[in-house]
């Protein structure tokens, strides 16, 4: 496993659309392992492959609960319900946080790393994370959707 370089604000790859994964081969498994390691290294709750420079529809999410990291390949949101106003950041925008409206609940389908098609019903933080990460696959960034005037720069504690 390896930590991969994060693509940061201003990198044009972040506004590109990612492509479907056709086969979950060895290379994809390595990418997934590296994405999880990279997400953990930077204490993120989610990471999309485009953020490490790979335009493939793969997302990893870890809420640091008993479920462990979740791997979503070719995910689609099939239903959204309600709204929640939340505080949000992104590993590609270090130290920047803002308020944003996300769906309160989402139902998503995805393929897991074993190739099995799965369905998840999510609310609260998981719904927020799925919504945020799936936006990355479309080249959409949270910064373009924030509630105006709510952006804050917060330096991490040393």
Catalog residues that contact Ni ion under the rule CB under 5 A. 90
Instruction: Indicate which residue of 12, 23, 133, 155 is catalytic.
Output: 133
Q: Tokens 């044009």: give the residue.
A: 12
Q: Residues 35, 67: contact at Cβ < 8 Å?
A: no
Residue 28 or 137 with smaller CB distance to Ni ion:
137
CB of 107 to Ni ion, least distance (A): 21
* Sheet architecture: strand order including 152-153: 84-88, 96-102, 152-153
CB of 92 to Ni ion, least distance (A): 6
Q: Which is nearer to Ni ion, 90 or 106 (CB)?
A: 90
Least distance (Å) between residue 116 CB and Ni ion: 26
Q: 47-62 burial by CB neighbour count: b if 16+ within 10 A, else e?
A: bbbbbbebebbbbbbb
Q: For Ni ion, which is the closer residue by CB, 28 or 91? A: 91
Tokens of 43: 């204490």
Catalytic: 133?
A: yes
Q: Which residues are catalytic?
A: 133
């Amino acid at each position: 496993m390896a930590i991969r370089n994060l693509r940061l604000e201003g990198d044009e790859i972040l506004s590109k659309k990612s492509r479907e994964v056709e086969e979950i081969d060895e290379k994809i498994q390595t990418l997934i392992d590296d994405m999880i390691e990279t997400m953990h290294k930077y204490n993120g709750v989610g990471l999309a492959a485009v953020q490490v420079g790979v335009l493939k529809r793969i997302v990893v999410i870890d809420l640091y609960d008993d479920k462990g990291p979740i791997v979503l390949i070719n995910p689609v949101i099939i239903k959204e319900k309600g709204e929640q106003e939340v505080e949000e950041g992104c590993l590609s925008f270090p130290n920047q946080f803002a308020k944003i409206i996300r769906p309160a609940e989402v139902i998503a389908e995805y393929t897991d790393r074993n190739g099995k098609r799965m369905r998840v019903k999510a609310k609260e933080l998981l719904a927020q994370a799925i919504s945020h990460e799936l936006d990355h696959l479309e080249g959409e960034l949270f910064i373009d959707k924030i509630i105006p005037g709510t952006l804050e720069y917060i330096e991490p504690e040393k």
